[in-house]
Amino acid sequence: MSIVYNVIYISARLVFLFAFCLFSIKGDVSSMIINPNVVTLSNEELAAIEEAEPATIGHFRNFGFNNAPLFISLPGKRFTGRAVTVRLASNDSTLLHKVTEMVGPGDVLVIDRAGDQQYAALGGVVSWALHVSGVEGVIVDGAATDIEEIREMGLAVLYRRLSAITTRLFGLDGEINTTVSCCGVTINPGDIIVADENGFVALPADEAAAVCKKAIEIQNAEPGKKNRIAKGEHMADVTRAGALIKEYFEKNAK
């Protein structure tokens, strides 16, 4: 009799625990937030800085860069635009479908997967909707799938990995245009994203023009330096390295 009683008691406790956990999880994650896009720089202002490269900005700036490895769907492609953010904290991609109608030319869609690397949120049909929208590019801090299809349509996507298992439509949670974390970078809606196959940098909108113009000036000076090296000058003489070495030894001469 005591054995039957114990079985009934344990079963009841397990049912109660399962119901409690289910209720708790549902209460925590079942929320949707949809905010309007934050328009900072105009498309004309973006066009003036679109030649800036992330790696050139990395010559003089140390923060805002992804610190996780990324792959790109279109090698050699660079894209610049205003961040439109979406956060998918589970394998529910309902709001990713919604945000496809909120982006367009001048926008970069940034997808925060809240650490998940298993479920691919970005596949062929969603990518096609984004491609039709005219979005500049997409960054997903997680998995993508249907990569060959994405390449063929010409959509620029930076992604962490590929996966054959996908997110689903549950209509439970997600956030559009809130502050997100992507590849170790905090990104606000309206931040300016500069991206290519080397990675990306997120810039506050009020700093982006000055930062990008400085990068473009550096890029414009590079052909002249290469020509000097091709004509026989040593690289250390073309750059500041030679002067710095000379200065060091002069200061430390005994």
pLDDT in tens, 70-81: 999 999 999 999
Q: Could you tell me the pTM of the whole model?
A: 0.86
pLDDT at 29 over 70: no
Give residue 4's pLDDT band: very low, low, confident or very high (50, 70, 90): low
pLDDT in tens, 101-150: 999 999 999 999 999 999 999 999 999 999 999 999 999 999 999 999 99
- Average pLDDT taken over every residue of the chain: 92
**Is 124 annotated in some ligand binding site?**
yes
Q: Is 132 annotated as a binding residue?
A: no
Average pLDDT rounded to a whole number, residues 201-218? 99
What does the pLDDT read at residue 19?
43
Distances 113 to 15, 129, 183, 201, 235 between C-alpha atoms, Å: 31, 19, 10, 18, 44
* Residue 126 labeled ligand binder: yes
Residue 116 is labelled as binding a ligand: no
Report whether 135 belongs to an annotated binding site.
no
